[in-house]
């Protein structure tokens, strides 16, 4: 039996200048039911991300014209589109730079095509679950000057919106559902990233740090998110 959900087309944008890598990704994603768009440089990739409305972007860092970090930054200024960095840069600083710019996950080359597809599906599931949950809750929370609207997936301070990535907003939603309670990295992974998360502790720490920086910058008089050294994090309501 074919369900309505199976009729929904999934569109992936692959921004990659290596044609062999791009074709390999296209082959495996197409087999998994995705329609795959390709761009071979940063500027055309950014244009396609804006005009074609893909469901997810797979983004190389080393791109001609505009590198992947800049592409990611520009996408994040306008959209909460899920982004996976796919690159040969393996240094931790490169990973963290990508996450700092708002990437949701990071895959290093060389990679297993099947693992890459699994990571793409995992990010899609996390985003879908978070959106569904937030729509079902449909509540607005006010913590001092900070207002979080789960149904609109927005956060604001005195009317000014705090620009958050999809992962940062999922983190914030989790924290406000567990106020004044210390949560471990593993609890964050289980509730925000999901059981299929294959990242590492610094990935979690980086996303939490980015969220805290944005909240503190927008509202320096009220610091809600705190590190509990050796235990995890606590969101003081």
CB of 168 closer than 8 Å to CB of 218:
no
pTM for this model (two decimals): 0.62
Contacts of 111 (CB under 8 A, 6+ apart): 86
The Cα 117–Cα 119 span in angstroms is 5
What pLDDT is stored for residue 65 in this prediction?
87
* Token couple for 76: 């994040």
CB of 198 closer than 8 Å to CB of 190:
no
| pLDDT, one tens digit for every residue, the chain (237 residues) | 334 444 467 899 999 999 999 999 999 999 999 999 999 999 999 999 999 989 999 999 889 989 998 999 899 888 878 899 888 866 666 666 777 777 888 888 888 899 899 889 888 887 765 555 555 445 777 877 888 887 777 888 888 888 888 788 888 888 888 788 998 888 888 777 764 555 555 778 888 998 999 999 988 888 888 988 888 899 987
CATH 3.10.290.10 assigned to domain 4-128? The reply is: no
Domain residue spans in the chain?
4-128, 138-235
Q: Do domains 4-128 and 138-235 have the same CATH topology?
A: no
**From 1.10.10.10, 3.50.50.60, 3.40.50.1980, 3.10.20.30, which CATH number describes the 138-235 domain?**
1.10.10.10
What pLDDT is stored for residue 2 in this prediction?
37
DSSP conformation class of 110? S
Cα dist. 146→50, 64, 88 in Å? 30, 40, 39
């Amino acid at each position: 039996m074919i369900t309505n959900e199976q009729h929904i087309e999934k569109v992936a944008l692959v921004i990659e200048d290596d044609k062999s890598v791009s074709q390999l990704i296209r082959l495996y994603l197409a087999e998994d039911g995705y329609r795959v768009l390709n761009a071979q440089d940063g500027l055309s990739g950014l244009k396609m991300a804006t005009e074609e409305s893909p469901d997810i972007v797979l983004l190389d860092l080393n791109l001609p014209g505009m590198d992947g970090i800049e592409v990611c930054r520009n996408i994040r200024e306008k959209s909460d589109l899920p982004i996976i960095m796919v690159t040969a840069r393996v240094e931790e600083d490169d990973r963290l730079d990508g996450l700092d710019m708002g990437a949701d996950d990071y895959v290093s080359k060389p990679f297993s095509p099947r693992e890459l597809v699994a990571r793409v599906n995992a990010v899609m599931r996390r985003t879908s679950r978070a959106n569904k949950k937030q729509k079902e809750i449909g509540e607005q929370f006010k913590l001092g000057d900070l207002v979080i609207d789960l149904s609109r997936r927005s956060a604001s301070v005195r009317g000014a919106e705090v620009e958050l990535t999809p992962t940062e907003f999922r983190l914030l939603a989790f924290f406000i559902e567990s106020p004044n309670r210390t949560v471990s990295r593993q609890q964050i992974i289980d509730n925000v990233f999901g059981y299929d998360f294959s990242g590492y502790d610094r990935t979690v720490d980086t996303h939490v740090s980015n969220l805290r920086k944005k909240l503190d910058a927008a509202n320096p008089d009220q610091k809600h998110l705190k590190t509990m050294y050796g235990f995890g994090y606590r969101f003081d309501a």
